[in-house]
A and B are shown apart, each in its own frame.
Chain A
Amino acid sequence: MVEALLFFAPASLIIIGALIVIFAKNPVHNAMGLVMTLVSLAIIYITLNATFVAMVQMLVYAGAVMTLFLFVIMMIGVDKKEQTTDSLKGQTFLVSGVFLILISLLAYVAISSDFKWDLWFPPVEFDAEGTPQLIAGTLFTEWIFPFEIISLLLIVATAAAIALAYDTKKRNNNA
Chain B
Amino acid sequence: MSTELIIALIKSNVVLAVLLTNTILLIWLERKLVAGMQSRVGPDRAGPFGILQTVADAIKLLLKEQIMPLKADRAMYLLAPIIALVPSFLIFMIIPLGPDLNIEIGGKDYIVDFVGADLNVGVLYFLALSSIAVYSVVLAGWSSGSKYPLLGGVRASAQMISYEAAMGLSLVPVILYSGSLSLVDIVSSQSGNLSTTIPILSSIVSFIPKWNIFPQFIAFAIFFIAAVAEVNRAPFDLVEAEQELVGGFHTEYSGFRFAMFFLAEYINMFNMCAITATFFLGGWLGPTFDGFLPPVLSAIMPIIWLGVKTFALLFIFVWIRATLPRLRYDQLMELGWKRLIPASLIWLILSAIVLGLREFGLPWS
Contact = CB atoms under 8 A, between A and B. Distances in A.
Interface stretch (B17-25, B122-130, B275-283, B338-346): B122-130
A103 interface: no
Contacts of A62: 128, 131-132
Interface stretch (B105-113, B153-161, B260-268, B294-302): B153-161
A75 B142 CA distance: 10
Interface stretch (A3-11, A26-34, A82-90, A158-166): A26-34
Interface residues of A, number: 25
A74 B138 contact: yes
Contact of B142 (A28, A54, A68): A28
B138 A71 contact: yes
Interface string A44-72: 00000001101110110011100110110
B119 interface: yes
B246 interface: no
Contact of B73 (A26, A35, A131): A26
Contacts of A58: 128-129, 131-132
Contacts of A26: 73
A97 interface: no
Interface string B87-126: 0000000000000000000000000000000011100110
A132 interface: yes
B154 A75 contact: yes
Contacts of B129: 58
B135 interface: yes
Given A59-B127, A62-B132, A67-B131, A29 B75 contact: yes
Majority-rule SS of A interface residues: helix
B154 A70 contact: no
A54 B124 CA distance: 10
- Which of B124, B127, B150, B153 counts the most chain A CB atoms within 10 A? B124
A63 B138 contact: no
B127 A51 contact: no
B154 A63 contact: no
Given A26-B73, A32-B76, A132-B181, A63 B128 contact: yes
A149 B125 CA distance: 28
A29 B73 CA distance: 10
Interface of B: 73, 75-76, 79, 119-121, 124-125, 127-129, 131-132, 134-135, 138-139, 142-143, 150, 153-154, 157-158, 161, 164, 181
23 contacts: A26-B73, A28-B73, A29-B75, A32-B79, A35-B135, A39-B132, A55-B124, A58-B129, A59-B124, A59-B127, A59-B131, A62-B131, A64-B131, A64-B161, A67-B157, A67-B161, A68-B161, A70-B138, A71-B154, A71-B158, A74-B142, A131-B120, A132-B181
